[in-house]
Structure 1
């Protein structure tokens, strides 16, 4: 069997037959807030603005 998989697809075998099921895409990741200061051992070593 040749199958172009461009979406999430689940293929299972039941009693010798292949069954194909489309699976929804996962949600996009949540936005990440980047740190603006870097501390090492409690001491501020770097600070920046975007």
Structure 2
């Protein structure tokens, strides 16, 4: 989401294996890639303010 007025700026496909447990999922390299991608989107679009 962007800053006000909110609009969708990107859709992120979470393609992590199921079933998911926090301990296993957080150890996956793909989890960290998605985490960085989402944080970057939030920072660039002002939603973190």
- What's the TM-score once normalised by structure 2's chain length? 0.22
Q: Which has the larger radius of gyration?
A: 1
Higher relative contact order (CA 8 A, sep 6+): 2
Higher percent of residues as helix: 2
